Amino acid sequence: MLAALRRRVNYRRERWDTPDGDFIDIDWLKTRESARTTPLVVLFHGLEGGARSHYALALMAALQAVGWRGAVVHFRGCGGEPNRLPRAYHSGDSAEIDWVLRRFKRDHTTGPLFAVGVSLGGNALLKWLGERRAEAGNIVTAAAAISAPVDLMAAGDALDSGFNLFYARKFLVTMKRKTFAKLERFPDLCNRNRLSAARTLREFDNEVTAPLHGFRDTDDYWTRASSKPLLKDIAVPTLMINAKNDPFLPTSALPSLQDVAPCVTLEQPEHGGHVGFTTGGFPGRLDWLPQRMLAFFRKTLAAA
């Protein structure tokens, strides 16, 4: 299935300079020439993800099939080339979401703009929606957050224990490799010995992510960057999908109807894992999730 998606989905890359002198890479879905009024779906990926992640390919293939436009935003350092500044990206990076979506709205569309965030990108997107409240409606028509770890303390603790350490250590391999490379350019970035000794996401975030992005420590980062306290303030139609068997977020930490604004649609299927949601026999199809998002976006357009 993935091999077929890779063959079907082609991108063209565009580099955007950031307001602080860095850059990000945008991968645009290659389609037939489309009008600026054609719906545009912008995807923010998860931790160490990108345009070739399975969920990105599945969504772009679905957009291609219906003639919509699509773009995948790579967070700093995730486009295959180190970014210029010491900072990287983090789960609460709503300021980055803000200028990116504003630029899409200003320069690239006069039609509906939909935002999708997956995992880390989902939390950052939800945080932005809650912070901007009604103002967000001047930029995006609707949004979707998939497998977003809205309670970072609960998610971090879950990933740093038991079998879930397997997932955490997979992330740590690439995150530590990138950070060691950055230390060659920025020797004061962090303590090399403590970075080398980090075995959990909490330890890595305490040494690197938190201080690098203005947080006191991991607890401060995970508390202030969590989107859950802001879900009641969202004023844009938003679809939230979290599987109850997601190893990244305990069921007890999932938001309830009392935690979210009336315009937020909560869907919490029993199965789906972390951005899995496959259907059919092994190895499964990946079309359910993009079709569910497209149906939600179409419903929003019909109600406008």
Residue ranges of E strands in 30-92: 40-44, 69-74
Q: Which positions are catalytic?
A: 119, 246, 274
pLDDT of residue 47: 95
Residue whose entry in the numeric block shows the structure tokens 């998610």: 155
Contact predicate 217/210, CB 8 Å = yes
CA 190 to the chain's CA centroid? 25
pLDDT of residue 35: 83
Please tell me the CATH superfamily of domain 2-151+227-303, with its number: Alpha/Beta hydrolase fold, catalytic domain (3.40.50.1820)
pLDDT of residue 161: 82
Residue whose entry in the numeric block shows the structure tokens 């224990």: 161
pTM of the full structure: 0.96
Write out the two tokens for 192.
């090399």
Residue ranges of E strands in the chain: 11-17, 23-29, 40-44, 69-74, 113-118, 142-146, 238-241, 264-267
Cα–Cα distance, 293 to 296 (Å, whole number): 5
pLDDT tens readout for residues 203-254:
999 999 999 999 999 999 999 999 999 999 999 999 999 999 999 999 999 9
Domain ranges of the chain: 2-151+227-303, 152-225
Which of helix, strand or coil describes residue 160? Answer: coil
